Structure 1
Amino acid sequence: MPAVAEEQILVVPAEVLDELGRFQGFSADVDRYLQPLLRCERLAYKPRGAMEEDPSFKQLIPYVLMEHTDADGVVTVFSYTRGGGGGEKRLHAKRSVGVGGHISTEDASHDDACADEGLYRRGLERELSEEVRIESAFTERLVGLINDDETAVGRVHLGVVHVFELQEPRVSSAEADLAEGRFLPAEQLVAEIDAYESWSQIAIRARYGAGG
């Protein structure tokens, strides 16, 4: 039986982030970072296994928060527990508010990392379709980026944070790796923040005001 080819994922040299201004935590300055990071000449596909251990590259990860605001103005957020499936093993059993994942050669129309301007979008939409079922209309906003050099996972990833504002709180998990999926009040996320993975903690603090 032939060996299964290793997944090739989209990365950008970490030095590009240094040139733009490396930050720790959350940055709302999308215009400063995102387009330069997505410039064709800086992007490449690399083997996922090697990239998980190489902080000289950053793996670009769409990270989607799904919110609903009820008639009383109470904001709830889709939250889940990471299971033991095909995702990042170092985050197993942590709670999360972010849905998304790697952009790979599967999202390209040919071998060029910048096959077309829709590459990043296709990666985001594929990851969402694999992980959740969204059964509500929504509006979308791109709100910032997450960089966390204080954890082993964070050192090799860079998150692009999208917020989907849903008309109805109707989202369900589409794979076993997203367990116990449900909408929780934002204030509960703040109160239970220590149960969440580092990127979710950063997002919760930035968006819902935990600890400033």
Structure 2
Amino acid sequence: MGKMDEIIIVAPRAQLFNNEELAFQGTLQDKKLVEEIVSNINATYTTMRRGDAEEDESFKQPIPYAVIKRGNEIFVYERLQGAGETRLHNKLSIGVGGHMNALEELETFEEVLMENLNRELEEELIMTTNEQPELKVIGLINDDEDEVGRVHLCVLVVIEVHENTVIEVRETDQLQGQFFPIEKLKLNPFYERLENWSKIAMDIL
């Protein structure tokens, strides 16, 4: 099965954003509004073939997007030419995440999101630490200005790891990564190479 035949979670945009009353551009951190949108996803999400979802702007694909923070550093990775998403090649990213699959044994969208996020972290990274990382949802990111963003909705998660944590990428033919100081990432040439969601996330970190 090709990746575009994968069955993923989607939510109808009209219900998700209450017929655009809750629509926003950039970041949303207001706790009440974030909870309302997440509640709408929980009530209306369904599944769709990924290839169809990528072409249908009437649906949003919720994507967990985890920023790994170690003190004043952020883990950054670069998508190499071997990576699957050609639209993001050679871009820098501070977010780890991916499309979500339905898990019938779990009751809520939040549980499904965290289970999918943990799977993505396990698939993409080797994390060596003696301390349990702390995960926190800090908001949503919506970017309707490009073709990737128009069909996705980012659920922004910050993972605080201990200063002794070592992280390596698993798929070295597709990704390379390392920690960078936050201050450095906010300056060019690094900032201009960040993918859109990463730029938006950096602005609030």
- Settle same-fold status: TM greater than 0.5: yes
Q: Distance in 2 between matches of 1:67 and 1:101?
A: 19
SS at match of 1:130: helix
Superposed displacement of residue 184, structure 1: 0.1
Identity %: 37
Counterpart of 1:91 in structure 2 is 88
Q: In 2, Cα distance between the equivalents of 1:47 and 1:7?
A: 6
Q: Pick closer, same or farther for the CA change 1:182–1:4 going to 2, 3 Å.
A: closer
* 1:72 match: none
Shift of 1:128: 1.1
Q: Report the alpha carbon displacement of residue 92 of structure 1 after superposing the two structures with TM.
A: 1.3
Q: Distance in 2 between matches of 1:30 and 1:125?
A: 23
Question: 2: CA distance between counterparts of 1:141 and 1:178?
Answer: 27
1:186 aligns with 2:185: no
Would the aligned equivalents of 2:28 and 2:34 in 1 still touch at CA under 8 Å? no
Does the 8 Å contact 1:83/1:92 carry over to 2? yes
CA shift at 1:9, angstroms?
0.6
The answer for the alignment partner of 2:70 in structure 1 is 68
Query: What secondary structure sits across from 1:172 in the alignment?
Result: strand
1:199 matched to 2:200? The reply is no
Identify the residue that residue 25 of structure 2 maps to in structure 1. Answer: 24
- Cα distance in 2 for residues equivalent to 1:180 and 1:144: 26
TM, length-normalised to structure 1: 0.84
Aligned residues: 193
The answer to whether residue 34 in structure 2 is matched with residue 38 in structure 1 is: no
Deviation, structure 1 residue 163 = 0.6
Residue 196 of structure 2 aligns to which amino acid in structure 1?
A: S
Which of these residues, 123, 126, 129, is aligned with residue 130 of structure 1? 123
- SS at the partner of 2:121? helix
- Residue 126 of structure 1: CA displacement? 0.9
Partner SS, residue 119 of structure 2: helix
* Gap regions ≥5 residues in structure 2: none
| SS in structure 2 at match of 1:128 | helix
- The residue aligned with 1:167 is 162
Aligned counterparts of 2:15 and 2:82: Cα–Cα separation in 1: 32
Measured in 2, the distance between the counterparts of 1:86 and 1:179 equals 7
Q: With the length of structure 2 as denominator, give the TM-score of the two structures.
A: 0.86
Instruction: Report the Cα distance in structure 1 between the residues aligned to 2:152 and 2:31, rounded to whole angstroms.
Output: 16
Return the alpha-carbon distance in structure 1 between the equivalents of residues 2 and 24 of structure 2: 37
1:141 aligns with 2:132: no
The question of 1:150 aligning with 2:150 is answered: no
Relative to structure 1, the CA distance from residue 31 to residue 85 in structure 2 (aligned partners, 3 Å threshold; closer, same or farther) is farther
Q: Which runs of 5+ in 1 are unaligned?
A: 70-74, 208-212
Counterpart CA distance in 1 for 2:204 and 2:162 is: 23
Residue 132 of structure 1 contacts residue 172 of structure 1 at CA under 8 Å; is this kept in 2?
yes
Shift of 1:30: 4.0
